[in-house]
Amino acid sequence: MGDPAGIGPEIVARALAERPDLDVIVFGDAGLLARAAAVVGVAEPASARIRAVTGPRLDEIVPGRPNDASGRAQLAYLTAATDAALAGEVSALVTAPISKEWIARAGFNFPGHTEYLASRAGVREFAMMLAGPSLRVTVATTHVPLKDVPRLLTAEGIASTIWLTAEALVRRFGIAAPRIAVAGLNPHAGEAGRFGDEEERLVRPGIELARARIGAAELQAIVSGPLVPDSVFRQAARGEFDAVVALYHDQGLIPLKLLHFDDGVNLTLGLPFVRTSPDHGTAYDIAGTGRARPQSFLAAFDLAGTMSQRQG
């Protein structure tokens, strides 16, 4: 249910009302969901669809006013849901937004969901993909300062991100021969070394490593790059590529959110179960008002269901 002081309870209540036949368990608290359902004007969720986790008093959790209680609650929800996914009780995990500040105060020592879930699942290879109807982007580095990106990029890391993207496109999106573009780091993709050497030193070797791994796995993915960053996202949005591997967070998320702010979905690649989330935050400024739009959460809901069915 995400941060109960944010818009999580409201978008979850809306999603349950709009997808009444979806087989879903909400890890949260019934009283908070009932209050949110009343705010957004939908029926109170059936108790059979709710796994009560913490049971706080309603006056402890005030929409738009996060506190230690809401921080502990969002961590408890995430822990319980992840336990269920790892135990095979659920085939997909859809996470409502958390507050990185307040969940950290509750003892959460990870930059975000992605790193936490990878640690819990014991996987060393993982990546964050953002997907919308016309653009999919995977990032080779995530929540790190921009000044550290060149130092953190490696050919092996870029190759891993490309591989995870190819595997997801084939096995979870059902694209038999996906076309993957890899963006350069520098303006004009380095212009043959005039504006930086990372393309030749890191990106191109990473692409070659990924191509070898994709071939060994007998996948049919086509990898192109390094391509000019200021053009490649437009090319992908027009249908020339099925996904773009970006080299740092904002390089990939700015074009994705420009096109798909209301219907973009965050996926964690490399996990043994499907994980999706909406591509937005807790929105404390509108929490409790009923104004939160559910489109991104519904898109995450629907994509999780489709992927779960596709992979059995």
What structural domains does the chain harbor?
A: 1-123+271-312 (3.40.718.10), 124-268 (3.40.718.10)
Taking a C-beta distance cutoff of 8 angstroms, is the pair 22, 47 a contact? Answer: no
Predicted TM-score (pTM) of this structure: 0.90
Write down the residue that tokens 């989330």 correspond to.
277
Integer Cα distance of 24 and 27 in angstroms: 10
What's residue 21's pLDDT?
87
In the DSSP assignment, the letter for residue 44 is: P
How many of the other CB atoms lie within 10 Å of CB of 21?
5
What's residue 48's pLDDT?
83
75's CB contacts (< 8 A; 6+ apart) are: 103, 106, 107, 108
Q: Is 157 exposed, middle or buried (0-12, 13-18, 19+ CB in 10 A)?
A: middle
Taking a C-beta distance cutoff of 8 angstroms, is the pair 145, 249 a contact? Answer: no
What's residue 312's pLDDT?
65
Which residues of the chain fall below pLDDT 50? none
Helices of type H across the chain: 8-18, 30-40, 68-86, 100-105, 113-121, 149-152, 155-171, 198, 204-216, 229-237, 249-260, 295-310
Q: What are the Cα distances from residue 43, in Å, to 1, 37, 62, 210, 300?
A: 17, 6, 21, 49, 21
- Whether a cis peptide bond, with omega within 30° of 0, leads into 226 is yes
